[in-house]
Structure 1
Amino acid sequence: MAGHSKFKNIMHRKGAQDRKRAAAFSKLSREITVAAKAGIPDPAMNARLRAAVLAARAGGMPKDNIERSISKAAGSEGETYEEIRYEGFGPGGVSLIIETLTDNRNRTATNVRTIVAKNGGNLGASGSVSHAFDRLGRIVYPAKAGTADAVFEAALDAGAEDCQSSEDGHEIWTALDELHNVVKALEAVLGEGDGGKLAWRAQTPVTVGEGDAGTLFKLIDALEDDDDVQVVWDNSDVPEDVLAKL
């Protein structure tokens, strides 16, 4: 466990974007409904649903809205959403994995392709970049959850594979089939985190220079502003001196 983390890069880029997305209740609601349909509609028994509910709470979604979104999964109310993953490349040769939930795959494909093309990137075939990422569970805690040593020890005892800390927070990685157990074990020691999510972690980060970083961040922000895009994963590593200029 340990090693270089690009957590600071992610936090820097996503700060303002997360605040915008937190207000997008429709996107949060969509994830709750899909998560509830994919398993037991009980956050205590469904790790993905629990993570979605925690994200909705953090985004300020009222309790009634959350419960209504879960209820939709039990009946025929509302649309049926399809999970579609797009892969491609952004400025500086950065690899992108774009995860979407959509009720209209043609609309989503057109929007994603247009956004990527307008911002210096291009889409590839399925599998064109995902082979360079590992599919893992990711759990995030704020910096106030504990010192780096304390969180490291808690993660190790919980069975996590990796723990990386910075002044922005703690990022814990675990095997997919251990995510739920690790989340529960960590909550007993550190309290409630973000609930744990399935994530893509790059095997080899790509260093992005000043000339490409701004365009890359613009591309990712534009994708995450699209209603159908849930999250964008990438393998960029932007040096702190470049971040300071953005």
Structure 2
Amino acid sequence: MGRAFEFRKERKFKRWAKMAVQFTRLGKEIAMAVKAGGPNPDTNSRLRTAIQNSKAVNMPKDRVEAAIKRASSKDAGDYEELVYEGYAPHGVAVLVETATDNTNRTVANVRSYFTKVGGSLGKTGSLDFIFSRKSIFRFEPGEFDLEELELELIDAGLEEIYVESDEEGHDVAVVQTSFEDFGTMQKALEEKGIEVKSAKLERIPLSTTDVSEDMAGDVLKLIDKLEEDDDVQAVYHNMA
């Protein structure tokens, strides 16, 4: 009974820690959206997207409103968005998206994470042949006929539509389009009354690297360390 209690306690702690990281990242995304297009989500599509994504992870409404208010202040600092590319152990490509108010701190931290596990940072653009940037929208399939929806969304740039399972095992419909068609697809989904759970620009690997279970453990050490950093917004890899 004691072990079971400790296990549940550990899982709860990890869940809360993960949630805290998500809230921090979304807070930055909201701030950058407000700085770029103002505090009104009706006229700022990036902010509208950030608010949608915050709802998907149950970020409290008052915390979202506080982030918008802070970013609207004249004294609010700016975040710079930077992308770092490199290789983890065993030749696995890793791409790191960051948002920071201190670039020296961020690059030093990211470089140290790679170095400590025997990896290395590369030049900007060195992984362009491995990752393709795509617009990814997720929503509950509900009563929608996905085959019919596929035909209706082609003019909005639809590349793929499929169903996957979320962390709780629930079905989630996924719409994929090009990076350039993000706004067009977002508008098309809104016009069809589809409530999007999350809308993101993600890096999809065009090729993958096979590794053993032990090798995968080495790579995951790097990924876990990167994802714990407050300046890191997203981490992508091409490990099979």
Using the size of structure 2 for normalisation, the TM-score is 0.79
- Rg (Cα) greater in structure: 2
SS of the residue 1:139 aligns to: strand
Q: Is the 8 A contact 1:223 1:229 kept in 2?
A: yes
What is residue 19 of structure 2 aligned with on the other side? 22
Residues 51, 64 of structure 2: 8 Å contact kept: yes
Q: What is the CA deviation profile of residues 87-145 of structure 1, one whole-angstrom value per residue up to 9, with x for unaligned ones?
A: 0011332211100011111111111111122234211111111232222211123xx52
Q: What's the counterpart of residue 97 of structure 1? A: 95
Q: Post-superposition shift, 1:18? A: 7.6
Q: Give 2:141's aligned amino acid.
A: A
TM-superposed CA distance for 1:178, in Å, is 2.1
1:138-177 matches, cutoff 5 A:
138-141=136-139, 144-146=140-142, 150-159=145-154, 160-168=158-166, 169-177=172-180
Shift of 1:82: 0.8
* CA displacement 1:9-35 (0-9 Å, x = unmatched): xxxxxxx98863322333321111012
2:221 aligned with 1:222, yes or no? no
Aligned-pair Cα RMSD in Å = 2.6
The number of residues matched between the two structures is: 219
Match of 1:211 in 2: 214
Q: d(CA) in 2 for partners of 1:207 and 1:140?
A: 28
Moved more, 38-47 or 200-209: 38-47
Instruction: State the distance in 2 between where 1:156 and 1:18 align.
Output: 39
Counterpart amino acid of residue 113 in structure 1: R
Give the 3 Å change call, closer, same or farther, for CA 189–223 of structure 1 in structure 2.
same
Q: In structure 1, list runs of 5 or more residues that go unmatched.
A: 1-15, 238-246
Partner AA of 1:216 in structure 2: V
Go from structure 1 to structure 2 and tell me whether the alpha carbon gap of 1:158 and 1:198 turns closer, same or farther (over 3 Å shift). same
Question: How far does residue 80 in structure 1 lie from its aligned partner after superposition?
Answer: 1.4
Partner of 1:179: 182
Runs of 4+ in structure 1 deviating by more than 4 angstroms, as ranges, are 16-19, 187-190
Cα 1:90–1:155 change in 2 (3 A) is: farther
Residue equivalent to 1:87: 85
Q: CA 1:48/1:131 → structure 2, altered by over 3 Å: closer, same or farther?
A: farther
Question: Secondary structure at 1:50's aligned position in 2?
Answer: helix
Deviations 1:47-73 (A, max 9, x none): 332222122223333222212212333
The residue aligned with 2:7 is none
Contact 2:93/2:238 (<8 A) preserved: yes
1:215 & 1:44 partners in 2: Cα distance?
Answer: 45
Deviation at 1:154, TM superposition (A): 2.0
Distance 1:96 1:152 in 2: 34
Identity of aligned residues (%): 38
The 5 Å alignment of 1:1-246 reads: 20-24=17-21, 25-141=23-139, 144-146=140-142, 150-159=145-154, 160-168=158-166, 169-187=172-190, 189=192, 191-237=194-240
- In structure 2, list runs of 5 or more residues that go unmatched: 1-12, 167-171
Alignment TM-score, normalising by the size of structure 1: 0.77
The residue type equivalent to 2:19 in the other structure is A
1:190 CA drift (Å): 7.1
